[in-house]
Structure 1
Amino acid sequence: MGRSSGKQTSTKFVLILSCGGLLGAALIADLLWASSSYSSSAYMSIASNWAPQIHQSTIIVPKKVDKKPQEGPAVKDNKDAIPDRVLSATFADLPGPELQWEKMAAAPVPRLDGAAIQIKNLLYVFAGYGTIDYVHSHVDIYNFTDNTWGGRFDMPKEMAHSHLGMATDGRYIYIVNGQYGPQCRGPTTHTFVLDTETKKWQDMPPLPVPRYAPATQLWRGRVHVMGGSKENRHTPGLEHWSLAVKNGKALENEWRTEIPIPRGGPHRACVVVDDRLFVIGGQEGDFMAKPGSPIFKCSRRNEVVYSDVYMLDDEMKWKVLPPMPKPDSHIEFAWVIVNNSIIIVGGTTEKHPVTKKMVLNGEVIQFNLDTLKWSVVGKLPYRVKTTLVGVWNGWLYFTSGQRDKGPDDPAPKKVIADMWRTKLSL
């Protein structure tokens, strides 16, 4: 009896233990399934934010169908047609009206990080990269009257090839240092002046120290040079100098120290309107030369793009104005003045948060100087940075720079020579 009772107790204990084990296994399996389901759901949610597929977060910008041809050269075939822009919301351009763009005669060479100055009906286009290993050392001229390129001439051998600072008084063009050579070589201190009527060059006093892509403008009889990057191409400079000039000649032997700019860095628009000096957008940091590289091979560094706008007026104190609609850099020669507004074309904005690739801008934006308000006044045929801009008889032109990989990918790819124009009504 005693042995029989022990067996029953043992059997019950085993049965209870087995049930408990099965229940525990079921709970663990359920927990693992729930965890897996959550992880899968979270991954799909994140992935859907970046996938360039058509879904609820996708913006589709339709192509405008022209009902009436514009004046000037027409688009002759489908290869010049502007494609639909389909892109993830992460990459979306700011909302704005469609513009009808005409493709004009391309520049003689493609240019990246070149410079341009408009004097009357002529756009003087300087230097720039052809490729990362080749830089231009000449000037091309575009005539807005007959929409043709011509009049090429050489730059001085000592003059920088990219990331120049530049300003004009309507005849003379004042050129401030920049980067000499291809890849990621450093900046120089050389400055020059070009007489656009005689095509002759003269030296000016060198800057106190080299600067790369400084904000440069002619204001109150003085060439002002601000910010840019220091000799290593990456560290922002805050210094601000000026030099008195008249009729293409320096009136001083040295640059004068002025009030430092509140935030340093390269690739900004610098504009003078109604005796006010504006510095717009830009970035802190840039590519640097790879340590020990004999060709100064470019090496990626972190850059911070910003939307800051600063102004100097009679008080000679920097004032902070309303920021741009979004951060914008690589716009130093991508602006014009139209109807008391500053118009800025393209540029670059903050990098993709996952791929860390550069993101190009595809908008034409306006800063109304009466209201000090920003607005988007149009879309470009594609996104583009370091483009060179002019305006003539109501037409807005842009040429050169580096465009995007396609309608659904805003990362930079091809260096271009294209010239486009559109009628701009403000």
Structure 2
Amino acid sequence: MLDFVNRWLRCVMVAAICTTFAGNGVEAQETRQWELLDTIGDPQARHEAAFIECDDRFFLLGGRGVKPVDIYDPKTRTWTQGARSPVEIHHFQPVVYNHQILVVGAMTGNYPKENALDKVLIYDPKLDQWKWGAEIPEDRRRGGAGAAVHGDDLYLVSGIQNGHWDGWVTWLDRLDLKTQTWESLADAPRARDHFQCAFIEDKLYVAGGRRSSGVTKQVFDLTIPEVDVYDLQTGTWNTLDEQSNLPIPRAGCFSFAIGRDFFVAGGESTIQREAHAEVQRLDTVTNQWSTDSKFAVGRHGTGVIVWNDALYTCAGSGGRGGGPELDSTEMLELNSEANEGSE
């Protein structure tokens, strides 16, 4: 793992030389570009879905409508199909625990007043089977929330109670995955939905998202620039200084962490009709952002996987809102020196 992180940091240092921050008015000379993969088969086109790795295979789950699981083998670049989910599931960040994929904080039903799932839904990749897990307390149910696992605990943060209409919440809840019991923790500094989160050591980083407000006809408008951080050791929240705000506020984006770096990729906003292609990196030591790379095709409503010195994404929507739905797969090699320097 240490060798992997060292190779990644070397790559990041080169990218930082070629990339400038959004606020200084200078065009980047070169930005690393993701590669569209030629795969055997394709996943089913979908958005508001989830993409996650479990035991060296990748799983594309959910999306609008009742969908099968699409399964990708990165060693053979082959897509196959698994079982359909028992209900429609969308707008969630999946997690892996004990070799199973957990869906929590998801929506079901039709736009704009979708319902929140009342239970955790579990997919077993080995058996290609779905089952229901712990019940979510009735007064804490929501969709479009961020989810992350730390040890034997699942953390569920923020979200929206009433689909895309209203009911934004600041809640932080912890599910003990051994005892299947819930605990309410300190509220986040602000409400948000349509985002993802990630742990870096004992700190949970929350960035991106919006307050989807169909009730005021502002479904896409109310994006959140601030970065909020929850410290497990102190049980308290902190908001990074304004200069550490997300450079391009957007929602429907995907987050992940490598070493000390936190990433926000893709997304949708009102500043452009196309989905965003930027993958932006926050150095959590300096709290400075840079543009790390760009997708070949901008997308929102899916995820990014870190596996074997590479990043992967697939599916999602290529534009703001519901389309066009994508079935393409992309990869970025983390230890590639092909993009180092410029002429």
Q: Partner of 1:208 in structure 2?
A: 138
Structure having the larger proportion of residues in helix: 1
Match of 2:331 in 1: 421
TM-score by length of 2: 0.78
Distance in 2, matches of 1:262 and 1:123, equals 33
CA radius of gyration, larger in: 1
Aligned to 2:303: 388
Identity fraction in percent: 18
Q: 1:302 to 1:370 in 2, by over 3 A?
A: closer
Closer, same or farther: CA 121–335 of 1 in aligned 2, 3 Å: farther
Give the corresponding residue for 2:18.
none
Q: Measure the CA separation in 1 of the matches of 2:321 and 2:106.
A: 25
Contact 2:211 2:219 in 1 (8 A): no
Structure 2 contact 111–164 (Cα < 8 Å) conserved: no
- What is the aligned partner in structure 2 of residue 283 from structure 1? 210
Q: Deviations over 1:35-67 (max 9, x none)?
A: xxxxxxxxxxxxxxxxxxxxxxxxxxxxxxxxx
Asked if residue 324 in structure 1 is aligned to residue 249 in structure 2, the reply is: no
Match of 2:156 among 201, 220, 225: 225
**Match in the other structure for 1:272:** 199
Q: Is the 8 A contact 1:163 1:178 kept in 2?
A: yes
Deviation at 1:185, TM superposition (A): 4.0
CA distance in 2, matches of 1:170, 1:259: 27
**1:118 maps onto 2:38 in alignment:** no
Aligned pairs for 1:125-274 (under 5 A) are 125-129=60-64, 135-157=65-87, 160-169=88-97, 171-188=99-116, 189-200=118-129, 201-209=131-139, 210-231=141-162, 233-235=164-166, 236-246=168-178, 250-252=179-181, 255-274=182-201
Taking a change above 3 Å as real, the CA distance of residues 239 and 93 of structure 1, as seen in their structure-2 partners, is farther
How far residue 286 of structure 1 moved from its aligned partner, in angstroms, is 4.3
Once residues 93 and 309 of structure 1 are traced to their aligned partners in structure 2, the CA distance between those partners, rounded to angstroms, is 24
Q: Secondary structure at the match of 1:414?
A: coil
Give the SS at the match of 2:159.
coil
User: Of the candidates 276, 301, 307, which is equivalent to residue 225 of structure 2?
Assistant: 307
The amino acid of 1:364's aligned partner reads V
Letter in 1 for 2:145: P
Residues 369 and 145 (structure 1 numbering): CA distance in 2 closer, same or farther, change over 3 Å?
Answer: farther
**Conserved? CA contact 1:193–1:204, under 8 Å:** no
Q: Quote the Cα distance in structure 2 between the aligned partners of 1:302 and 1:389.
A: 22
Contact 1:94 / 1:363 at 8 angstroms: preserved in 2? Answer: no
Q: Is the 8 A contact 2:66 2:85 kept in 1?
A: no
Give yes or no for contact 1:192–1:203 (8 Å, CA) kept in 2: yes
Name the CA distance, whole Å, in 2 between partners of 1:125 and 1:391. 14
Q: Deviations over 1:377-424 (max 9, x none)?
A: 1222232212322233322211011114xxxxx897411111111223
Deviations for 1:199-254, whole angstroms, at most 9, x for unmatched residues? 442321223333121111223422222211122533211222222113xxx432xx
Q: Does structure 2 retain, via aligned residues, the 8 Å contact 1:215–1:268?
A: yes
Deviation at 1:368, TM superposition (A): 2.3
Query: Aligned letter for 2:223?
Result: V
Question: Whole-Å Cα distance in 2 between the matches of residues 203 and 265 of structure 1?
Answer: 25
> 1:107 pairs with 29, 42, 47, which one?
42
Whose RCO is larger (CA < 8 A, sep 6+)? 2
Q: Is the 8 A contact 1:177 1:187 kept in 2?
A: no
Q: How many aligned positions are there?
A: 303
Distance 1:420 1:372, change over 3 A: same
The answer to whether the 8 Å contact 1:93/1:363 transfers is no
1:111 CA drift (Å)? 0.9
Equivalent residue letter for 1:112: H
Q: Which AA in structure 2 matches 1:187?
A: N
3-state SS of 2:42 partner: coil
Mapped partners of 1:184, 1:411: distance in 2: 12
CA distance in 1, matches of 2:191, 2:91: 15
- 5+ residue gaps, structure 1: 1-88, 130-134, 291-298, 405-409
List gaps (5 residues or longer) in structure 2.
Answer: 1-21, 337-343
Task: Report the TM-score, using the length of structure 1 for normalisation.
Answer: 0.64
Q: How does 1:336-355 map to 2 (within 5 A)?
A: 336-349=256-269, 351-352=270-271
Letter paired with 2:264: I
